Amino acid sequence: MIREIEQIKMRKDIKYLLDSYGFSVMSLAESIGIASNSLSDFISGTTMRSPNFDKSYVGLEELKKQIKEAEEYQPNE
């Protein structure tokens, strides 16, 4: 995995989550496990340092999985 390429994808995912699902930067940062100012800087184009990248990559993948499960959820099942 090339970290810089993954960060491009992550930035797009994060912007999509903010725009389409109504997350705030603070709630999204909390759910992926990093500080909100780190997430704000990342959205603005700053490269994420390794510890934050590792945490946010795993957290973002888990969040996307949970959103997919929520979209597929059928209350009558």
Domain ranges of the chain: 3-71
Architecture of domain 3-71: Orthogonal Bundle (1.10)
Q: Residue 76 above 90 pLDDT? A: no
Q: Is the dihedral of CA 57, 59, 62, 64 positive or negative?
A: negative
Is residue 61 classed as helix, strand or coil in its secondary structure?
Answer: helix
Closest-CA residue to 53 (of 20, 6, 14, 16) = 6
Residue pLDDT, tens place only, 34-72: 999 999 999 999 999 999 999 999 999 999 999 999 999
d(CA 73, CA 3): 33
Q: Has residue 15 got a pLDDT over 80?
A: yes
At residue 1 the predicted structure's pLDDT band, cuts being 50, 70 and 90, is confident
pTM of the complete model: 0.86
